[in-house]
Structure 1
Amino acid sequence: MDAAEAKQTRTAAVARLAIGLVQGIVLFLLHRADDAKTWPATAPLLFGPLLVCALTVPLIPLAGLSAMRRAPLLVWTAAAATLAAILAIHAAWTGQQPGAVGAGALSPAVFPAVAALLFIAHHLVQPAEAVGKPVAPYADYFDLAWTHGAQLALSLAFTGVFWLLLALGGALFKLIGIDAIQKLISEAAFFMPATCVMFAVAVQLTDVRAGLVRGVRGVALTLLAWLLPLMTLIAAGFLASLPFTGLAPLWKTKAATALLLSAAAHLIVLVNAAYQDGTEPGHAVLRWSARIAGLLLIPITLLAAYALHLRIDQYGLTPERVYAGAFVIISAGYAIGYGVAALRPGAWMKALEPTNLVMALAAVLLLIGLFTPVGDPARLSVNSQVQRLNAGKIAPDRFDYAFLRFDAGRYGREALDRLKTNPRAEIARRAADTAAQKEKTFAPAKRGPDFANMKVYPVGKALPDSFKAQDWTADSSDSSCTFAGMQCAALVVDVDGDGVDEVLLAGGAGFDVFKAGEHGWRRVAQAASTCPGVDIDAALKAGAARLDAPTPRRDLLIGDQRLPLVPAGEGCANTAPKGAGVWLPTDIRPTPRPR
């Protein structure tokens, strides 16, 4: 290292330490104001941007000091601080709770969102600034983003080990009656500046040893790349199984969108680990796995989008579904680009490069939209739910007024105020009652199904009143269909031939059989298919569900498939529902034939 390089290294080290120290002091002062509920914590529109900027913006000069020229770095840092402040001001303006001060006035989601936005944006800005062009070579983006990712992970690990050593030292000294170290490290005045300074030290050390960081990155990418064939096999096997199992089991998980988007995200990351900067073709196994994975992203994303559409169509928007919609948009962009890359002849997966850059920019724009009034999840959700209420799609007594009052910020509270003057008296009364509440109350958990929206078969049948009126919180059958909000289809039919109908609730590829007795309705049997591909919902709609003809044992027929009736708990000790008696296979008898 020559004299000029040594001087530059010392300058960067001093600057990084200064940034870390200033960041730690500012965070401590903000923490003290928040803890004491004094200014500026009492001014959320000021405290919010100060806190968000203090936590996130210093990462930009810490990362760019050794690579960007001073003037562009200062301009970009100022622009990033302005953007972070705007998002934080909106988060504070909407306000989680009326009258909240300090960090409590901000939505927790704004912190990781701003951090992710600045990380993505910085890795679009720095490579372009380095080459003096709007768009840099793809290899520069890849190298910087993955190197900084490894650097961030190592710096966080270094800071964590630093605190482990301090904690160990404090414990050792306490053994001999000296507790000053433990008291010191528990003080916020020490904890916050020390953490920020040590993180800055770690960034400087990893920046000086950039070759070692790239070595760690290379090992991590190699390991991740060879997980791609496994993930591709899992995704292909899952999609290949769907024609045999149908989509009903997937929808019944109530988490289909999240699981599918998680699978898509894993495929995207692993494909990039295999492709890297595209300068060297990988192993043939990795190349084919990447092509197949690129194509598999399309049906996985379509399934995620369809699952989300079904939930929104049935229940309207919620903040979680708005966020999921943003992830679906990102996944769709990657799916299209990677699908084209997989099919295009020539250099393998070359179209992946512009896809990654376009989707990085799209992610930045989406994050800005989600944390400004343009696409604020709370605003969109409030509008959707209130529209459903006014349109009569949801009954006034089933509407979640508490969501508007406590979980939707300013948009929800303003909507609740409007509902207080609604021409429908019940809506106005319930809105006024909820608006007067000081704290959110939680109704006791109910396990009862959603009887109002439950479909009952055969057509013309209805659920027995005693079945709907039963207190399902006391049910111990472990049937998934008795949990709160479940809408399992119901088949009402006399199974045991005693002249009284039983209720069969369809869950997955089978039924839970409930029978009325001395102790109310209890699950007494199950009917499950042992063959793949049974579509219970379609069979019920088509009227193809029926009982077998009188035989020594009557089973349930779904189309051309037989679902044997098996008593609940058969083969396991003490698993029969308490008070239900024992319903043996020989007790499932048809009505005697007339002689």
Structure 2
Amino acid sequence: MSAKATRIAALTRLAIGLAQGIALFLLQKADESKAWPATAPMLYAPLLVCALTVPLIPLSALSAMRRTALLGWSAVAAALVAILAIHAAWVGATPDRLGAGPLSPPLFIAVAALLFIAHHLIQPAEAAGKPVAPYADYFDLVGTNAVRLFLSLAFTGAFWLLLFLAGALFKLIGVEAIQKLIGETAFAFPATGLMFAAAVHMAVQLTEARAGLVRGVRTVGLVLLAWLLPLMVTIAGGFLATLPFTGLAPLWSTKAAASLLLSAAAALIVLINAAYQDGLEPPNAILRWAARAASLLLIPIVILTAYALWLRIHQYGLTPDRVMATTYLIVATGFTVGYTLAALRSATWMKPLERTNLVMAAVSVLLLIALFTPIADPARLSVASQVKRLESGKVSAEKFDFQFLRFDSGRYGRLALERLRVSRDPEIARLAAKADAANEKAATPANTGPDFAHMAVYPAGKTLPASFRQQDWSLHGADSTCTYTRMRCSALVIDIDGDGTDEVLLASGATFDVFKLSADGWRRVAQASGVCPGADIDAALEAGQVTMSEPTARRDILVGGQRLSVVPAGEGCRAPPPPLRDGLVKLP
């Protein structure tokens, strides 16, 4: 690039950065003062999101794309971003929420990801003059722009650190003008935009002049990352090999199986690409075989993820989190199919992986557009699923989460709530009207029930009664630590009052909450606690060292060397009684 072209590029980037900073300042002041255009969410939202994200396209590609192509792509990107922002504002807007309120962080993250992926599909193709450029061009541009972005953010951060240091130094001698200046948004926004644009220009010049150095550093980093692939293959392989012996129950009991499995799949995909890089030179034989093995391990992991997700959706319907997880699963499935074919059918070093990466990049862009438009909005799909479950009788009106419709699903939920208010079912109509009239979300009951999945039951051979597990703990779990915090507690099933029916004791440390079956469920009727500090209650329970004192005026529980006094609920603390004579039989 000639010196003149370089100066023009520099001035253009600085002008874009300054204009972006001024635009963001004006939008921020409008939102702060509740003035136009902040009073019109459908206008404010696209202006804000476009001003924040779209200028990054000409900043990065100013010297790399033809002017007409760059202007056309920037216009398309602005239109696309505006559509997503308008939809977000429409879904979240309420009469008392104006300005940036309806816009959530996921929208900005999604827009940034969408533009990043789409830009790196478009720029290499435009430079090559054909729809699909050589794969090495895509790989090189992504790595180079990642370095440029890091350098630009670091430079901008260093700029602000120096300003804060200058303000603190001058304040020491009584000059506060600098601190006041950097605290003004009229300075902060334009200065940040200008310095970031300057940093981008310098990063572009540096990476073009030292392209070989940048590629070398990138290659070293990826090679080091790639050598984690054999370890990840060992971990994933060991996990899958252990499942037949442990069964799926421990995995399902985590209630996070799908997210953990998707994380494992993502790690394998990233490490496979770290080993493959641009595909021009095959890596070490160990990495080649590890990449092929990792591609095959993706199959059972994705199948397990799909099964786990299907179970949750079948049992409880869609939620926004499950819609997002389904989207990730679609992407993971696409990579799995492509990588498996590359591992099994390719005579060369997994060459079909390149086509898979490009296709899934385009699919990811389409999925992001769908998720943040009415096509597949997680709130819309979740509301439709949950309301269908309610109206079909799969979930009763008493157990249905009307608060989700009122507060957590935007306009879609509020529209559904309005329809449910005139339901033919009087209970649904009553609860819908009650939720619709609420001004704030009610607190979720704290006592959500014991953690049965990880609960050890003593003595050996005893099991918890089914009625104890299945009762409504939001009604009958009051005053028990185990039911409020879902901490891991032990359970002791034993008859402590001599009536021939076992009670259930939940142990939290050296204290037991005693539950007894009554006409209205299992109720906490007493507490058993000891006075000896440092007693290892869990070890004594595991060893079966549990007995009852002789039936006298009161029976105490003997656990190991510890005597636990049983105090009826509401009686309060009292001094432990004199030791009673132990003529006892140890429980099996």
Structure 1 length normalisation: TM-score? 0.81
Equivalent residue for 1:187?
A: 184
Matches within 5 A, 1:19-418: 19-95=16-92, 97-210=94-207, 211=211, 212-418=213-419
Between the aligned residues of both structures, percent identity stands at 59
Q: Partner residue of 2:551?
A: none
- Distance change in 2, residues 1:128/1:163 (3 Å): same
CA contact (8 A) 2:540 2:546 kept: no
Q: Aligned to 1:396, what secondary structure does the other structure show?
A: coil
One-letter amino acid of the structure 2 residue matched with residue 204 of structure 1: H
Q: Quote the Cα distance in structure 2 between the aligned partners of 1:35 and 1:321.
A: 35
CA distance in structure 1 between the aligned counterparts of 2:529 and 2:464, rounded to whole angstroms: 23
Q: For 1:478 and 1:281, locate their aligned partners in 2 and report how far apart those are by CA, in whole Å.
A: 56
Distance 1:73 1:230 in 2: 43
Q: Residues 284-342 of structure 1, C-alpha deviation per residue, up to 9 Å, x if partnerless?
A: 22212211111112222222222211211121111111111100100111111111212
Task: Name the SS for the 1:323 alignment partner.
Answer: helix
> Matches of residues 451-470 of structure 1 in structure 2 within 5 Å?
462-463=467-468
> Residues 391 and 345 from structure 1, CA distance in 2 versus in 1: closer, same or farther, beyond 3 angstroms?
same
Which amino acid counterpart does residue 472 of structure 1 have in structure 2?
G
Q: Tell me the equivalent position of 1:544.
A: none
Distance of 1:514 and 1:85 partners within structure 2: 57
Structure 1: distance between partners of 2:367 and 2:540? 45
Equivalents in 2 of 1:303, 1:34: separation in Å?
47
In structure 1, the partner of 2:550 is none
- Cα contact 2:449–2:474 (8 A) shared by 1: no
Q: Cα offset for 1:526?
A: 6.9
1: CA distance between counterparts of 2:413 and 2:33?
A: 29
Residues 185/415 of structure 1: CA separation in 2 closer, same or farther (3 Å cut):
same
Partner Cα separation in structure 2 for residue 170 and residue 315 of structure 1? 56
Asked if the contact 1:448/1:482 (under 8 Å) is kept, the reply is no
CA contact (8 A) 2:448 2:483 kept: no
2:477 aligned residue: 472
Post-superposition shift, 1:424?
1.2
Residue-by-residue CA offset, 1:506-531 (whole Å, 9 max, x unaligned): xxxxxx9975478537799879999x
Q: Distance in 2 between matches of 1:64 and 1:464?
A: 61
356-365 vs 95-104, which deviates more? 95-104
SS in 2 for 1:462: helix
Q: CA deviation at 1:177?
A: 1.4
In structure 2, relative to structure 1, the CA distance for the partners of 1:151 and 1:390 (3 Å cut) is same
Partner of 2:526: 520
Shift of 1:385: 0.7
CA contact (8 A) 1:447 1:473 kept: no
The alpha carbon displacement at 1:24 in A equals 0.6
Deviation at 1:503, TM superposition (A): 4.5
In structure 2, how many angstroms separate the alpha carbons of the residues matched to 1:49 and 1:252? Answer: 43
Secondary structure of the corresponding residue to residue 174 of structure 2: coil
Q: Deviations over 1:171-208 (max 9, x none)?
A: 11111111211111121111111222222122111111
The aligned residue for residue 539 of structure 1 is none
Q: SS in structure 1 opposite 2:186? A: helix
| Deviation of the 1:400 alpha carbon | 1.3
Read off the aligned partner of 2:328 and give its amino acid letter. Answer: F
Could you tell me which residue of structure 2 aligns to residue 421 of structure 1? 422
Partners of 1:22 and 1:441 lie apart in 2 by 44
Give me the CA root mean square deviation.
Answer: 3.9
Aligned equivalents of 1:467, 1:113: Cα separation in 2: 39
Q: By how many angstroms is 1:465 displaced?
A: 11
Partner of 2:433: 432
Matched residue SS, 1:27 = helix
- Paired with 1:309 and 1:276, the residues of 2 have a C-alpha distance of 34
Distance 1:272 1:78 in 2: 32
Aligned partners of 1:424 and 1:276: how far apart in 2? 60
Contact 2:34-2:99 at 8 Å conserved across structures: yes
Q: Residues of 1 paired with 2:423 and 2:20: CA distance?
A: 50
Rounded Cα–Cα distance in structure 2 between residues aligned with 1:528 and 1:285: 50
- Change in Cα spacing, 1:504 to 1:274, as seen in structure 2 (3 Å) is farther
1:463 CA drift (Å): 3.4
Contact kept in structure 2, 1:516 and 1:522, CA below 8 Å: no
Q: Distance in 2 between matches of 1:233 and 1:384?
A: 39
Relative to structure 1, is the Cα distance of residues 569 and 470 closer, same or farther in structure 2, using a 3 angstrom cutoff?
farther
Question: 1:103-145 CA distances to partner (integer Å, 9 max, x unpaired)?
Answer: 1022332111111111100111011101110111111111111
Q: 1:435 and 1:468 mapped to 2: Cα distance?
A: 26
The question of whether the paired residues in 2 share the 8 Å contact of 1:97 and 1:406 is answered with: no
8 Å CA contact 1:48–1:92 kept in 2: the answer is yes
Give the C-alpha shift of residue 71 in structure 1. Answer: 0.6
Q: Distance in 1 between matches of 2:143 and 2:584?
A: 66
Q: Which runs of 5+ in 2 are unaligned?
A: 453-461, 517-523, 531-536, 548-556
- TM-score, normalised to structure 2's length? 0.82
Query: 1:81–1:108: structure 2 CA closer, same or farther, 3 Å change rule?
Result: same
- Report the number of matched residues: 539
DSSP 3-state at the match of 1:520: strand
